[in-house]
Amino acid sequence: MNYERIRKIVLDAIQDAVAQGLIHGTSGNIALRDDVDDVVAITPSGIPYTGMTLEDIAIVDLNGKWLEGNFKPSSETPMHTAVMRARKDVKATVHTHAMYATIMAMGENPVLRPITPPHCEFTPIGIVPFTMPGSDEVADKVVQTLGEKGRSVLIKNHGMFSCGKDMKAAMMAAVYTEEMAVTTYYAKLLGNYEPMSEEAEAAMKALIEADQAV
Ligand SMILES: [Zn+2]
């Protein structure tokens, strides 16, 4: 079997995402770009993640063409490969319908603000307007909304999309985006919603960037 290393990382990540409640049923998909070859390991379409094997993880090229795997790649493959083509710094991508992020991806003003200092690594989090799932159009809009440095976006009436330099970083972006959505939701319900100030967010971002540069 080819690309065992990246297939294993994707399989472990999707099962971790299910265990954390970020993914329900067969919704959500995770991808990882190979360091050497321009191929991507991605979860298959419509197959339960429990009991999944390494051979079930699909291998596609950067244009999403199916190269290997027992099942066809995720229908959201265009979203993952479009981001990897546009962003050389992105090696891993996570798309989920995590409940609170999906709740926050509605309404008049869905932009998530940082509630605690670790959130600042992942803000600003933009909102992608609703477009048909699996389309090149939604893929283009995710790329546009992420921009050059974005780590996470909400997708209206659909879910969220996160990315990072490796799987750990992409999973952290997904976990913290959902945490931001959960804390925002409950704080707004209680009437005590008060996100970090823009000044505190900027100072925290500078600290995080300095730390990552070391
Ligand atoms: Zn989806």
For residue 110, name the pLDDT band (cuts at 50, 70, 90).
low
* Amino acid residing at 28: G
What is the Å distance from ligand 1's center to 57 Cα? 17
Task: Look at residue 104 and tell me whether its pLDDT is greater than 90.
Answer: yes
Question: What are 127's two structure tokens?
Answer: 């909102």
User: Using CA atoms, how far apart are residues 166 and 104, in angstroms rounded to an integer?
Assistant: 26
Instruction: Provide the Cα torsion 45, 111, 179, 147; round to 10°.
Output: 60
Neighbour count for residue 110 (Cβ, 10 Å): 17
User: Using CA atoms, how far apart are residues 123 and 133, in angstroms rounded to an integer?
Assistant: 24
**Which residues are catalytically annotated?**
76
What is the Å distance from ligand 1's center to 157 Cα? 10
Residue 25: per-residue pLDDT: 85
What is the Å distance from ligand 1's center to 206 Cα? 33
Q: What is the mean pLDDT of residues 75-83?
A: 97
Task: Look at residue 54 and tell me whether its pLDDT is greater than 90.
Answer: yes
| pTM (predicted TM-score) | 0.95
For residue 109, name the pLDDT band (cuts at 50, 70, 90).
low
To the nearest whole percent, how much of the chain has pLDDT over 70? Answer: 98
What is the Å distance from ligand 1's center to 214 Cα? 36
Q: Where are any strands of DSSP class E within 69-133?
A: 92-96, 126-128
Instruction: Give the chain's domains with CATH numbers.
Output: 4-213 (3.40.225.10)
Q: What is the pLDDT of residues 113-172, one digit of tens each?
A: 999 999 999 999 999 999 998 899 999 999 999 999 999 999 999 999 999 999 999 999
Residue 15: per-residue pLDDT: 95
Among 7, 9, 6, 8, smallest CA distance to 168 is for 9
Phi then psi for 186, rounded to 5 degrees?
A: -70, -35
What is the Å distance from ligand 1's center to 26 Cα? 10
What is the Å distance from ligand 1's center to 29 Cα? 8
Task: Look at residue 210 and tell me whether its pLDDT is greater than 70.
Answer: yes
Residue 132 buriedness (CB in 10 A; 0-12 / 13-18 / 19+): exposed
